[in-house]
């Protein structure tokens, strides 16, 4: 498979864009090789500028449940563009999409739209801090919540650590208010509460998708809910990735635990850049202009993105059995991987939540970020390279989830499993 045009395009991009990419993971640094430059996509397939075709398990990092260029979403976008691309003023479609979301969740009375998941989480944390009148937050190692200052933290050496900056340009005075705990380890969370009486909230990906696919245990989520209630803190579910992806109600459709604030993204934009956060009325009413906690966005509620999201969400609600079908395909894929890997003497851990899936080159189950870091990332890099050469496009990092889309057929899944059998054999 030749990618000469992508190689030239990458060199040209590096001259005018830092690293040649607008988001670091796209640079392929963790898997090696050259990023593939995409020309077009349709359904389950990507097409690069060299004319190669790939079965796409990234799906724009999650939002495209109905695949690329879905006709219904495409029609909604084209119709909306006829009226203008952006107004910076209220439109009816914002209310329509907000109503669709709030009708689905007992714990969400109001939502506010923003333009990215990072912005949604940043705003949700500010809201939690303002509502509780406390400064500290708890997050979990391996959970990614965007690149805002308070959340770009790294672990220290102790059992309980206040965050230190993980990037130049992030002031330590900000990250000192972020406490780090271990995913699926309630004792580490209890120690955080013992070390600070100023905790406003806990934020968690209830289905972590940024250390590979690592779901939180139900008992762990319930314990978090209890700790928040006991200590007067809010529980935030970051469902930017899992919202409307793992199920129609995201992680909340698979768990009995109800968070105080939820952040959304990706799927509610139907592929357009969108984020949102929502909560019960007494919390959301603290936002300006009604309340004293400031949050704003000139292009928030963009009518094109709202139209795409509304079309996507209505289509999902009209086809609730789609999640069972997608999950069956995800399980078929990961079970096939596990079988073919075992035939080649390779240990592989796999997991599925709805249309999300993940796999690790490890002999042990992955429950947290420490476990994920022990996986064989070199073997994943080789696997990624060889699958790409055979026309299969996975996320270019061991620490990302994969996604199934509706246009993927069982025949496509069988094809990918057959390719994996050859690749695993080469790896062994």
294 is catalytic: no
Delimit the domains of the chain by residue range: 4-69+321-427, 71-318
Q: At what angle do helices 322-343 and 410-427 cross, to 10 degrees?
A: 20
- What is the per-residue pLDDT across 349-386, written as a single tens digit (0 to 9) for each? 999 999 999 999 999 999 999 999 999 999 999 999 99
- Among candidate residues 134, 182, 191, 266, the one labeled active-site is 266
SS3 154: strand
Cis preceding-peptide flag for 289 (omega within 30 of 0): yes
- Above 50 in pLDDT, residue 158? no
| pLDDT (0 to 100) of residue 163 | 54
Tally DSSP H helices, then E strands, for the chain.
Answer: 13, 19
Indicate the CATH number for domain 4-69+321-427: 3.90.1150.10
The percent of residues in the chain predicted with pLDDT above 70, rounded, is: 97
- What is the per-residue pLDDT across 293-327, written as a single tens digit (0 to 9) for each? 999 999 999 999 999 999 999 999 999 899 999 99
72 is catalytic: no
Q: Would strands 199-204 and 164-165 be described as parallel, antiparallel, or unpaired? A: unpaired
The percent of residues in the chain predicted with pLDDT above 90, rounded, is: 89
Q: Any idea which fold 71-318 has?
A: 3.40.640
Which of these ranges, 125-129, 177-181, 328-332, 390-394, has the smallest mean pLDDT?
A: 177-181
User: In CATH terms, are 4-69+321-427 and 71-318 the same topology?
Assistant: no
| pLDDT (0 to 100) of residue 154 | 66
- Above 70 in pLDDT, residue 159? no
- Above 50 in pLDDT, residue 1? yes
| pLDDT (0 to 100) of residue 156 | 42
- Among candidate residues 56, 134, 136, 144, the one labeled active-site is 144
7 is catalytic: no
- Backbone phi and psi for residue 48, each to the nearest 5 degrees, phi listed first: -95, 175
Tell me if 83 sits within 8 A of 237, measured CB to CB: no
- Among candidate residues 56, 70, 238, 371, the one labeled active-site is 238
């Amino acid at each position: 498979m030749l990618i000469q045009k992508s190689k030239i395009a990458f060199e040209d991009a590096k001259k005018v864009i830092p690293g040649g990419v607008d988001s670091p993971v796209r640079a392929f640094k963790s898997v090696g090789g050259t990023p593939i430059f995409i020309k077009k996509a349709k359904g389950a397939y990507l097409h690069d500028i060299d004319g190669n075709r790939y079965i796409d398990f990234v799906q724009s990092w999650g939002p495209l449940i109905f695949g690329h260029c879905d006709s219904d979403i495409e029609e909604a976008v084209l119709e909306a563009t006829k009226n203008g691309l952006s107004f910076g003023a209220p439109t009816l479609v914002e209310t329509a999409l907000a109503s669709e979301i709030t009708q689905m969740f007992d714990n969400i009375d109001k939502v506010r739209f923003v333009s990215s998941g990072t912005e949604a989480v940043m705003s949700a944390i500010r809201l939690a801090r303002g509502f509780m009148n406390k400064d500290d937050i708890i997050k979990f190692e391996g959970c990614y919540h965007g690149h805002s200052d308070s959340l770009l933290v790294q672990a220290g050496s102790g059992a309980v650590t206040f965050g230190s900056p993980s990037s130049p340009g992030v002031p330590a005075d900000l990250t000192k208010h972020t406490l780090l705990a271990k995913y699926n380890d309630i004792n580490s969370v209890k120690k955080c509460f013992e070390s600070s009486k100023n905790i406003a909230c806990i934020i968690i990906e209830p289905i972590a998708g940024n250390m590979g696919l690592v779901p939180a245990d139900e008992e762990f989520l319930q314990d978090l809910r209890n700790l928040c209630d006991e200590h007067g803190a809010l529980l935030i579910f970051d469902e930017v990735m899992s919202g409307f992806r793992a199920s129609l109600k995201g992680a909340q459709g698979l768990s009995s635990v109800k968070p105080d604030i939820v952040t959304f993204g990706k799927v509610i934009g139907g592929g357009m850049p969108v984020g949102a956060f929502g909560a019960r009325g007494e919390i959301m009413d603290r936002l300006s202009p009604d309340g004293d906690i400031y949050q704003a966005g000139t292009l928030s509620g963009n009518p094109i993105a709202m139209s795409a999201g509304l079309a996507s969400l209505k289509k999902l609600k009209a086809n609730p059995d789609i999640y069972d079908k997608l999950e069956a395909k995800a399980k078929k894929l990961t079970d096939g991987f596990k079988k073919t890997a075992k035939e080649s003497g390779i240990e592989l851990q796999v997991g599925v939540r709805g249309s999300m899936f993940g796999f690790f080159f490890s002999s042990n189950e992955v429950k947290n970020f420490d476990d994920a870091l022990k996986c064989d990332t070199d073997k994943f890099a080789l696997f990624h390279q060889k699958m790409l050469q055979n026309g299969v496009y996975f996320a270019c990092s061991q620490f990302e989830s994969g996604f199934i889309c509706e246009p993927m057929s069982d025949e496509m899944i069988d094809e990918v499993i057959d390719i994996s059998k050859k690749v695993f054999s080469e790896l062994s």
